Structure 1
Amino acid sequence: MSLVERVDEWALLEDVLTNSAERPSRVVVVRGPVATGKSEMLNAVAEQAEARGLVVLRATGLRAERRTPMAVFGQLLLHTDQVGEQPDGTAARTARLLDDARFTAMLRDPDSEREEHVRAHVMRALTTLLHAQAAGRPLAVLVDDVQYADIPSLQCLQYAMRELRAKPVVVVLGLRTGPGAERPLFGAELLRHPRLTQLRLAPLGESATAALLRAHVDEATAQRLAPDAHRVSGGNPLLVRALIHDLLAHDAPAQDLRAPAAGTDTPRHGPSGTRTLPVGDAYRQSVLSCLHRGEDAVLAVARGLAVLDDAASDATLAGLLDLDRETVALSLRTLEAAGLTGAGSFRHPLARTAVLDDLSRADRIELHRRAAELLRRHGAEPPVVARHIVATGEVTGADSLDVLWETATRARRDEDVSLAIACLHLADEACPRGERRSEILAELARFAWRVRPSTLGPHLNALRAAFDEGWLAEGAVPVLLSGLLWQGRFEEAAEVARKGQVTHGGASAVTAYLAAGAVRTTYPALRERVGADNWPAPQSIADVLAARGGDPRHRVGAALNTVLTRGADPGAADVAETVLQGTRLSDATLEALTSALSVLIYCDRLGRAAHWCDVLLREATRLGGPGWQAPLSAVRATVALRQGNAPDAVRYALNALSWISPQGWGVGIGSVLATLVSAHTAMGQYEQAMAYLDHHVPDGLKETRYGLELLHARGQLHAATGRVRPALDDFLTCGELMTRWGVDQPALVPWRSAAAEMHLRTGGEAEADRLVKEQLAKCGPGQSRTRAQTLRVLAEVAGLRRHHHALHEAIEELEKCEDRLELVRALGALSRSHHALGELGQARMMARRAWRIARDARAETLCEQLLPYGDGEASGADRPARAGEGCPAEELTDAERRVASLASFGHSNREIARKLFITVSTVEQHLTRVYRKLNVSRRKDLPHDLLADTAC
C-alpha cells in the first residue's frame, strides 16, 4: 500500500492491531468520499492483521445487494478461507441460521431499521458462529462499503459488536460519505461503542500528489506537474493515478492543463517544449467510475451540473432533477470532496464531457428541454436558455424563436459565431415565411461568408427563392445582391436590382446599396445591365465631408467612387482614414473597411494602408473567420506589391488563398491571382506566373475591377516574356473597358504607360508619347507612385537625354512612397541616361544602387538588365577584396562613411542631409575630409563598398 499522506491514519490502525489478543474489542470506522483510498486502507489492514496472526473475515457491501437479506453477514460466516477449518456440521448449521434470518427479513420492510429483521436468538447463534471461526485467536472483521449493507446484516453486525465487546476482536468498517450513505440507527449504535475510532480520509495534498508523480517521472517534472495535477484531480488518488496513466500512455503529453480544452486528448507540448500532464481516456473513465460507484443522487446532480453548466445553482438543480435542495447541496459537497468539482463546476472540461457522453441521447435531450423551460421561468438571459433549446433541436413556440433570435444577435456582437449559427439554423427550420425568416436567412448568409464562404451558394439560393416568392424583406435584398455579385452571377443580380427597385420604390435599401460607390466601381458592368436610368447617382465626396457622419459603407463608397472616377482626392483619403479609425471589424463593416483600404492604396498612401491592414488582420485572426482573413490578406498582398516587395506579396496572396477554397472566392480571386502573376513576373519566375493564369476563374470576372487587375497582370507577363503584341492588346483592352465604365484612372490600372512601353518596342513613338502625356495629366495631387511611374515612361518615350530631370523627380517621389521595384526601374533609366550622356561613372553608380535594391527584392530579371550598365560588376560590396587592396572604410569615421556611401550612389548633399538628419554644411565638411583621406577629387570616384546597408 502507498502511505502517501496517510501516515497518521496508518499509525492509528497499527496501534489497534498491536497486542489485539490482550485487548477488548475495538471498532474503527474509515470514512471518506468515493475513491479516496478506503478500500486500499482496508486491504492493508487485512494484510497486517494476517501477518500478526489474526483471523480475518471480510465482506463488501454492494449496491445491487442492498435489499438482499444477510448478503454482507453471510460473506463473513461463509468466508472461503475459514469454511474448510470448521467442525463437521457447522456449515450446515450456518446455512440453516442464515436461511431462517432471511425468511424473517423477507417479511419486514427492507428499508426500515426500526423493525426487527432477525430474531434475537438467531442473531445470538450467528454471533457465536462468527466468533467460533477465530478458533481461540484474535479476530479481525473487515466490512467495506458499509453504506450498501442490507439492514438484516447491519443488525446482526451491531448485535455481534455488542456481544463481543470483551473479546479480542477488531472491527474495521469502510464507509463512503454522501447523501443517503449512512443508516441512522446503525450509526447511532456505533457511537455507543466504548472503543470507537473514526478516521476521515481527506483528499491528497499537493505534496502527496507530487510524491505519487515522483514514482513515475523525474523530480523536476513531478514538481512542475504537481500543481496542475492536484488542481484537476482535487487530490482524489484515483484521479491522480488516472492522470499518471495518461501521462505514461503517451510519448508526448495530451493536453496542457494550464489551458484545458474540453474533450481533447491530442498530444501536445508546453510552451518551452517540456512535457505536460495529459488528460485523456483514463481520466475520463475514472470520473465515471467515481460517479457510478456513488449514490444515485450524486450521479443525478453531476448530470444536472453538466447540463446546466454555468447556470447551475442549488435551486436550478433541485428544480431540474426533482430533488430537495438539501440533497442537492449534500451531493454538491460530495462531488467537491471527491475531487470532481470545485467552486460549483467541474474541475476539468473533460469531466463534464464524460458525464454528458454517459447520458443516453433521449435523457440528454429531456434534461436540456427541462432546463430550457426552467431557466426561462427563472428569467435567465436568452443565450443561457438558447443553448438548451439548441441542444434539444426543437423550437416549441414563439417564445423559443424570440430567444434564438435574440441570442444570435448577441452572439454576433460577442463574436460567439458557433452559437449564433446554431441558433439561426434552428430558427430557420421553425420560423414561418415572412420578415423574420428573411432576417434569419440574411444572417445565415453573412455567417456562411465569414466562416466557410464555399457554403454560401445554398444560402443565396434560399434568399433568391424567397425573393421570387415575394416574401423576402427589403433589408435582406442587399445581402442577396452582394452574394450574387461576389459569385459573378451578374444577370441574376441585375434582375433582382430592377425588381427590387420596382417593388420597394426609389428610397429603398436596394437603391441605397446601388448608390454606394463601392458597388459601382467594383462591378462597373452591372450599371449597364441594370440600366443607367435605374442607377442612382453616387454621393459626392464634398457631401460626405460636409455631413461628417453616416453609414461607413456609403461614406467609403463615395470616396472610392471619387478616386476611381475623378482621380486621387486628399478628402477621399481622409474619409477612408476616418472610417478605418472609427469602425470596428464585423460582418456588416468588412466590405466598407476593405474599400477604405483600397482608397488609401489608390491614393498612394501605401504606408497607411499597410498599417491599417495589419491592424485589421490581427483583429480578424483574434476573432476568427476565414471570410475576414482572406480578403484582408489579399489587400495586404496588393499593398506589398505596390511597395515593390514581391516576396511578401506572394506570401500574403498565398495566405489569402489558403483561407478560402477557390469555390468560395468568387470574383475576388481575380485580385489575388493578379498579385501573384505580377509578383512572380517581377521576380522573373515566369512559369509560376503562367500557372496562375491557368487557374479557373468565374465567368463574370471580366466584368469586375478584379478582372481589370488580372488582365493588366497578364499583359505584364506577356511584356516580360517578349510577347509585345499580346501585351499591347491586354493593355488596350483594359483602357477600353475602363473608359466605357467610367473608371479610367491610372491609380487603378496604369494601362496608358504600359501600352506606351509596348508602342516603343514596335516603333510607335508618337502614340506612346500621346498616351503617356494623357496619363501624366490624370495624375492627381498626392499620387507620388503613379506620377513617378509616368515620369519614367515619359523620359523613355521622349529620349532619356531630354528628360534627365524627370527621372530625378521620379526617383525623389518613389523614395517617399516606398515602391522599390519602380525605384529600380527609374534608377535603371537614369543609369542609361547617364550612359547616353557619356557619364559612365554616374551610370555605374545608379546601376549598382538599382542592382542592390533589385537583389533584395529578388527581382532577378531587373538585376540582369542592370548588369551591363554596372560594367558587369554588381556591387563592390559583393566581390572579395583583391590582394594588397586596403579597405577605404578603415580610414573613415562612422559618420564620414555613411555620408560617403550615400554620395557614392548619386544622392545630392541635400538628400544626404535629409536622410541622416544633419545639416547640408555638415555633409559638405564630411565629404571634404573623405576626399582628402581617400585621395579622390570628385563624387564619381568614390568607391561603392563603403557601407552596403546605408547604400541600399
Structure 2
Amino acid sequence: MSLVERVDEWALLEEVLGSSAERPSRVVVVRGPVATGKSELLNGVAEQAEARGLTVLKATGLRAERRTPMALFGQLLLGADQLEKRESGAAARVERLLDDARFTAMLRDPASEREEHVRAHVMRSLTAALHAMADGRPLAVLIDDVQYADIPSLQCLQHVMRELRAKPVVIVLGLRTGPHAERPMFSAELLRHPRLTQLRLGTLGERATAEMLRDHVDEASARRLAPDVHRISGGNPLLIRALTHDILAHGPSSDTSLPALHTLTVGDAYRQSVLSCLHRGDDAVLAVARGLAILDDTASDTALAGLLELDHETVALSRRALESAGLTQAGTFRHPLARTAVLDDLTREDRLTLHRHAAVLLRRGGAEPPVVARHIVAAGEVTDTESLDTLWETATRARRDEDVSLAIACLQLADQACPRGARRSEILAELARCVWRVRPSTVGPHLAALRAAFDEGWLSEQAVPVLLAGLLWQGRFEEAAEIARKCQGAYEGSSAVAAYLATGAVRTTYPALRDRVGADNWPAPQGPADLTAARGHDPRSRAGAALNTVLTRGVDQHAADLAETVLQGTPLSDATLEALTCSLSTLIYSDRLTRAAHWCDALLREATKLGGPGWQAPLSAIRAKIALRQGNAVDAVRYGTNALSWMTPLGWGVGIGSVLATLVSAHTAMGQYEQAMTYLDHHVPDGLPETRYGLELLHARGQLHAATGRVRPALDDFLTCGELMTRWGIDQPALVPWRSAAAEMHLRTGGEAEADRLVKEQLSKCGSGQSRTRALTLRVLAEVAGLRRHHHALHEAIEELEECEDRLELVRVLGALSRSHHALGELGQARMMARRAWRIARDARAESLCEHLLPYTDGEVSTPDRPARDGESCPSEELTDAERRVASLASFGHSNREIARKLFITVSTVEQHLTRVYRKLNVTRRKDLPHDLLADTAC
C-alpha cells in the first residue's frame, strides 16, 4: 500500500490495532472526498489486522443496495470466512435472524431513521452472533462507503457499538464526504462513542504527486511532470494514477537531442477516471458536474440551481465536493477533457434538454446573446422569434470578433427556423460569405439556396449581389446574366444590383459579362468624377473606381493614391476583402510594387492570425504576382503554390487563372518549362476565358510558347489577348503588354514593320509612373529598330527599372545592352553588361534568360576585366571600403533598398555613399559605374 502523505494516519491505525486486545472498543471514521485513498487505507488495515491475529469482518456499502434491508450487515455475517468454519446450525440461525429483520424493515419507511426497522431482540441476537464470530480473539469490523448503508444495517451497527463498547473490538468506517453523504442519527451515535477517532483524508500535494510518478517514470520526468499532473488531477490519487497511465501509454519523447523524457498526455484513462469519481459520488454531485459542463463559464450557483432544480445549499455543497475531489478549480473543470467526458456521458436527449433549459434560464437572467446562442445552437432548435433574434445578434458579433465557426453555426440554425422573406435572405447572404471564408469549396449549396430563393421570388435585392458574386466566381456567367436581366423587372429601380454591376471590380474582372447581360441592362461605367468622389465612403466602390480607371484609361496617379488610401483605412474582413484586393491590384498595375508588397504582407499576416483560407488564398496569389513583377521568380513560385494549397480548385473558381498564370510565368523565367506546362494542364472552370484571370493565363501560355521556340502559337496567344482587351475596353499594357510580346514574335518571323507599329503604339500608351511597362517597351523598341540605333533606349530602360526593381526585365535589358555593345565592337562594355546580367539572373535563378539573350556564356564573362595598366589608378583605390561595397552592388543593378538590406545600413546612408562615389569617379549615373570595384562583394 502506498503511504504517500498518509504516514500519520497509518501510524494512528497501527496503534489502534496494536492495543485492541488490552483496551475496550475503538471506533475510527476515515473521511474524505471520492477517490482519495479511503478504500486503499481500509484494505491495508484489514491486512495488518489479520497479521496481528484479529478476526476481520468486512463489508462495503453499495449505492444499489441503499434501500435493500440488512444488505450491509448481511455482508458482515454471511460474507465472512469464519462462518464457513462453524456448524451449519449457527449459519442457519443467522439466516433466520436476517430474514426476520428484513421482514420487519419492509414494513417501515426505508428513508426514515426515526422508525425502528429491526426489533430489539433481533438486534441483540445479531450482535451476539457477530461477537461470537471473533472466537475469543479481538474483532476488527471494517466497513467502506458506509454512506451507502441501508438504515436497518446502520441501526444494527449502532447496537453493536453500544453493546460491545467494553469488548476488544475495532470498528473502522470509510465515509465519503459530500452533500447528503451522512445519516444524521447515525452520525450522532458515532459522536457519542467515548473512544471515537476521526481521520480526514485530503488530496495530495505536488511533492506527493512527484513521489507517485517516480514509481513509474524516471526521476527527471517525474520532477518535470509533477506540477502539471498535480494541476490537472488536483492531487486526487485516482486521477494521478490515470494520468500516469496516459503518460506511459504515450511513451518517452521522440526528440533524439534530449534524454528519453516522458511527456504529459491527457487521454482515455483520465477521462474514465473522472467519470468513475463522479458515478461513485453523490447523485447531486454528479448532477452539478453535468450542470457545470453544460453552463461552462456561466455556471453560477443560481444558474445551476435553476437548471438542475436543486436548492442552493445542495449546489454549494456539491461544488465544494467537486473541488475537494480535485475535479474542479475556481468553479470550472481542471482540464477540458473532464468537461468533454461529462458531456459525452449524458444521453443525447438529456443533453439537448439541459441546453434548452439553459438557454431559457440565461435569457431570462439577462445574459449576453452569444452566451444564450451557444445553448440554442447546442439544442438545435429555435422555439420563438426571440431566439432567432439572439442567433442573428450572435452571428453579427461573432463575425466582428472573428469567431467564424460560431457565426456559421448560428446562421445555419437561423436559416432552418426563419420563414421566407427579407430576413432569411439576409441570413442566407451572410452564411454564404462566412462559409466562403473558411470552406470555399462548400459554398455551392448556399449559392443554390440563394438561387432557389430568387427563383421563388422572396430573395431581397440586397442579397442578390452575394448570389451574383458567387456565380461569377464559379464561372457561371449565363446564370449570373439571367439574374441580372430579371432584376430589372423584379426590383423597382434595382439599385443594389446595378451598383454591384457598375463597380470597377466586376467590370474589369468579368468584362465579357456585359455582352451576356445586354447593353440596356448594363449600368453606365464610372466616370472620372467617381474617382474623386469615389461614390461616398464605401471602400468597395472607391477601390473599384480606382481599378477601373487604371485598366480602362491608363495609369493614373490619383487612382493609385486612392487605392493606397483604401488600404490604409480599411480593416480586413469578409465585407472588405474585395476592396482590399482591388486596391492591391491597382498598385500592381500602377507599378507601385514596393508599396503593394508592403500592404499585401501586412494583410497576409492579419489573415494568417485570424484564419480562413478564403482570405489567405487570394492574398497569397496577389503576393505571388507582386514577386513575379519584381523579378523574384522563386518567391512567386513559393507564394503561388501556397495559394493553391489553401483552397481546392472548386473553391478557387475562375480566380485560379491568376495563380496559374503567375506560376507558369515564374517557371518559364527560370527555364523550368516542364513544371510550367503542368500548370497549363490544370483543370479550370469553363468560364475562365471570359475573365481578366483568363487573359493573364493566356499571356503566360504565350510566354511559355515563346521561350520554347513555338513562335506561331505564342503570337496567336498574344494577338488573342489584344483582341479581347480591345473588345472589353481594358487595353492597357500595365495589365498585359501584348503588343511588345507580339512584336518580339514578329521579329522572329521577319515582320519588322508590324513589330515597329505595335511597339510604338504600346509606348504611346505608357504614361508617367509606368516605369516597368515603359522599360520593357523601350527594350523591345530597341530590338525592333536595331540595337545600334537605339542604344540610348536601353540605358533609359535601365533607369526606369531601377524604380520598380524588376530584376527579370533588368536581365533582359542588360542582355540587349550587352549585345548592343558587342555589335558596336565595345567588347569590354559588352562583357561588363553580360557579367551584371549573369549575376542578377543567378540570384533570381533565371540563368536560362541569359543563355538566350547574351553573346557570352557564363564562363566567358566570369573572368575579371583587364587590370589597370601601369600608371593608371584603379577606381577602387579612390574609394573607402564602405563606398566600394555600395558602388559595386549598385553597378550590378541592385536598388538602394536592396543595398541597404544586404549591407544592414539605411537607405539614406546608401544615397550618401553613392553621392560621394559619383563625385570621386566623375560619373553622373548609376549605369556608368564600373563593375570591377570589389571582387569579393556578395551580389
Structure 2 length normalisation: TM-score? 0.93
Q: Is 1:73 the equivalent of 2:67?
A: no
Tell me the amino acid that sits aligned with residue 528 of structure 1. D
Tell me if the contact between 2:832 and 2:861 (Cα under 8 Å) persists in the aligned partners. Answer: no
What are structure 1's unaligned runs of at least 5 residues?
Answer: 254-266, 879-886, 929-937
**Aligned position for 1:616:** 603
Residue 684 of structure 1 deviates from its aligned partner by: 0.9
Tell me if the contact between 1:845 and 1:904 (Cα under 8 Å) persists in the aligned partners. Answer: no
Q: Is 1:918 the equivalent of 2:907?
A: no
Bigger CA drift: 718-727 or 552-561?
718-727
Task: Rate the CA distance shift 1:273–1:476 in 2: closer, same or farther, 3 A.
Answer: farther
- Give the SS at the match of 1:30: strand
- Give the SS at the match of 1:20: coil
For 1:440, which of 424, 427, 436 is the aligned residue?
A: 427
Tell me if the contact between 1:225 and 1:276 (Cα under 8 Å) persists in the aligned partners. Answer: yes
CA distance in 1: counterparts of 2:259 and 2:713, whole angstroms: 56
Residues 478-527 of structure 1: per-residue CA shift (max 9 Å, x gap):
01111111111112211211221333244610111112111111111112
Q: Is 1:53 the equivalent of 2:53?
A: yes
Residues 553-608 of structure 1: per-residue CA shift (max 9 Å, x gap):
00000000011011111211111111112112111111111111101111111111
**Aligned position for 1:704:** 691
What are structure 2's unaligned runs of at least 5 residues?
Answer: 866-873, 900-906, 923-927
Residues 441-470 of structure 1: per-residue CA shift (max 9 Å, x gap):
112211221122222222222212211221
Q: What are the equivalent positions in structure 2 for 1:802-951 lying under 5 Å apart?
A: 802-865=789-852, 868-869=855-856, 872-873=859-860, 875-876=862-863, 894-895=881-882, 897-898=884-885, 901-902=888-889, 916-918=910-912, 922-923=916-917, 943=932, 946-949=935-938
- Give the SS at the match of 2:57: strand
Residue 87 of structure 1 deviates from its aligned partner by: 5.3
Task: Rate the CA distance shift 1:877–1:310 in 2: closer, same or farther, 3 A.
Answer: farther
Task: Rate the CA distance shift 1:877–1:486 in 2: closer, same or farther, 3 A.
Answer: farther
Tell me the amino acid that sits aligned with residue 49 of structure 1. A
Task: Rate the CA distance shift 1:290–1:271 in 2: closer, same or farther, 3 A.
Answer: farther
Q: Is 1:457 the equivalent of 2:451?
A: no
Residue 651 of structure 1 deviates from its aligned partner by: 1.5
Q: Is 1:144 the equivalent of 2:144?
A: yes
| Count of aligned pairs between the two proteins | 918
**Aligned position for 1:191:** 191
**Aligned position for 1:648:** 635
Task: Rate the CA distance shift 1:186–1:682 in 2: closer, same or farther, 3 A.
Answer: same
Bigger CA drift: 569-578 or 122-131?
122-131
Task: Rate the CA distance shift 1:877–1:34 in 2: closer, same or farther, 3 A.
Answer: farther
CA distance in 2: counterparts of 1:236 and 1:818, whole angstroms: 65
Residues 803-851 of structure 1: per-residue CA shift (max 9 Å, x gap):
2222122112212212111111111111111111211111111111111
**Aligned position for 2:339:** 352
Q: What are the equivalent positions in structure 2 for 1:43-442 lying under 5 Å apart?
A: 43-86=43-86, 89-251=89-251, 275-442=262-429
Tell me the amino acid that sits aligned with residue 237 of structure 2. P
For 1:801, which of 788, 804, 808 is the aligned residue?
A: 788
Tell me if the contact between 1:845 and 1:870 (Cα under 8 Å) persists in the aligned partners. Answer: no
Residue 309 of structure 1 deviates from its aligned partner by: 1.6
Task: Rate the CA distance shift 1:397–1:508 in 2: closer, same or farther, 3 A.
Answer: same
- Give the SS at the match of 2:198: strand
For 1:577, which of 551, 564, 584 is the aligned residue?
A: 564
**Aligned position for 2:761:** 774
Bigger CA drift: 752-761 or 525-534?
525-534
For 1:633, which of 586, 603, 620 is the aligned residue?
A: 620
**Aligned position for 2:903:** none
CA distance in 2: counterparts of 1:939 and 1:78, whole angstroms: 109
Tell me if the contact between 2:294 and 2:355 (Cα under 8 Å) persists in the aligned partners. Answer: yes
CA distance in 2: counterparts of 1:615 and 1:204, whole angstroms: 50
- Give the SS at the match of 2:641: helix
**Aligned position for 1:935:** none
Tell me if the contact between 1:454 and 1:664 (Cα under 8 Å) persists in the aligned partners. Answer: yes
Residues 665-716 of structure 1: per-residue CA shift (max 9 Å, x gap):
1111111111111111111111121221122221211111001101100110
CA distance in 2: counterparts of 1:125 and 1:616, whole angstroms: 87
Tell me the amino acid that sits aligned with residue 645 of structure 1. N
- Aligned residues: CA RMSD: 2.8
Tell me if the contact between 2:509 and 2:692 (Cα under 8 Å) persists in the aligned partners. Answer: yes
**Aligned position for 2:663:** 676
Tell me if the contact between 2:875 and 2:933 (Cα under 8 Å) persists in the aligned partners. Answer: no
For 1:515, which of 498, 502, 505 is the aligned residue?
A: 502
Residue 397 of structure 1 deviates from its aligned partner by: 2.3
- Give the SS at the match of 1:108: coil
CA distance in 2: counterparts of 1:304 and 1:898, whole angstroms: 71
**Aligned position for 2:23:** 23
Bigger CA drift: 526-535 or 914-923?
914-923
Q: What are the equivalent positions in structure 2 for 1:547-586 lying under 5 Å apart?
A: 550-586=537-573
Residues 204-233 of structure 1: per-residue CA shift (max 9 Å, x gap):
111111111122222222222112111111
Bigger CA drift: 536-545 or 389-398?
536-545
**Aligned position for 2:521:** 534
CA distance in 2: counterparts of 1:268 and 1:670, whole angstroms: 43
Tell me if the contact between 2:617 and 2:644 (Cα under 8 Å) persists in the aligned partners. Answer: yes
- Give the SS at the match of 1:539: coil
CA distance in 1: counterparts of 2:248 and 2:27, whole angstroms: 40
Residues 377-428 of structure 1: per-residue CA shift (max 9 Å, x gap):
2222222222222222222222222222222222222222222222222222
Tell me if the contact between 2:514 and 2:522 (Cα under 8 Å) persists in the aligned partners. Answer: yes
Residues 711-739 of structure 1: per-residue CA shift (max 9 Å, x gap):
10011011111111111111111111111
Q: Is 1:752 the equivalent of 2:715?
A: no
Residue 434 of structure 1 deviates from its aligned partner by: 0.7
Residue 281 of structure 1 deviates from its aligned partner by: 0.7
CA distance in 2: counterparts of 1:906 and 1:65, whole angstroms: 91
**Aligned position for 1:263:** none
Task: Rate the CA distance shift 1:904–1:860 in 2: closer, same or farther, 3 A.
Answer: closer
CA distance in 1: counterparts of 2:459 and 2:846, whole angstroms: 53
Tell me the amino acid that sits aligned with residue 696 of structure 2. E
Tell me if the contact between 1:899 and 1:926 (Cα under 8 Å) persists in the aligned partners. Answer: no
CA distance in 2: counterparts of 1:4 and 1:738, whole angstroms: 83
For 1:787, which of 757, 774, 778 is the aligned residue?
A: 774
- Give the SS at the match of 1:323: coil
CA distance in 2: counterparts of 1:675 and 1:696, whole angstroms: 16
For 1:591, which of 578, 581, 597 is the aligned residue?
A: 578
Q: Is 1:727 the equivalent of 2:717?
A: no
Residues 82-106 of structure 1: per-residue CA shift (max 9 Å, x gap):
1133356322222222222222212
- Give the SS at the match of 2:85: coil
CA distance in 2: counterparts of 1:810 and 1:640, whole angstroms: 20
- % identical aligned pairs: 81
Tell me the amino acid that sits aligned with residue 399 of structure 1. E
- Give the SS at the match of 1:89: helix
Residues 649-677 of structure 1: per-residue CA shift (max 9 Å, x gap):
11211111111111221111111111111
Bigger CA drift: 530-539 or 476-485?
530-539
CA distance in 2: counterparts of 1:463 and 1:869, whole angstroms: 62
